Amino acid sequence: MKKPYFPLFVDLSEKKVYVIGAGTIAKRRIRSLTDFTDHLIVVAPEVNPELNGLEQEGKITILRKKFELQDIAEADIVIAATNDHSLNGEIYDYCIEQEILVNVCNDKKKCDFYFPGLAMKDNVVVGVTANGTNHKMARKAVEKIREMLEEWL
């Protein structure tokens, strides 16, 4: 039986975090990450207005182009969130070879880490995961924790 993931809190403020893709899953990851790093780079040929707004606010940098592996040569963390399984696999292989932490959104076997459900209030941050197996249960737990944080803080 595989052991659960250890909840590790990491200072991302100076880490270069790259998100490849700008679809629905990528947008969720980007929204979550903007509170934690000042170096969030999105690589996608096209992005939606919400991401344009985040760029105008200075929360993200967008490279509007077709992705190339050299784009992530300086990365500390990469999130592969394209709808192209083959490209996500190439990104994963490159990151493993270069020892860059990677999360492939459509393949939990190709993830060095999972994205937790987040509950935040002031400086209190709670991350919840069900090890990628039961998103509904994790989401329900996060909702309850958010309610408790609102009551307590």
Q: Looking at residue 8, what is its pLDDT? A: 85
Contact 106, 124 (CB under 8 A): no
Which pLDDT belongs to residue 153?
80
What pTM was computed for the model? 0.90
pLDDT averages per 10-residue partition of the chain, 153 residues: 80 96 94 94 94 95 97 98 96 98 92 90 90 84 94 86
Q: Looking at this protein, which amino acid is placed at residue 118?
A: L
pLDDT of residue 108: 84
For domain 17-110, give the CATH number.
3.40.50.720
Distance CA 64, CA 6 (A): 35
Domain boundaries, the chain: 17-110, 117-152
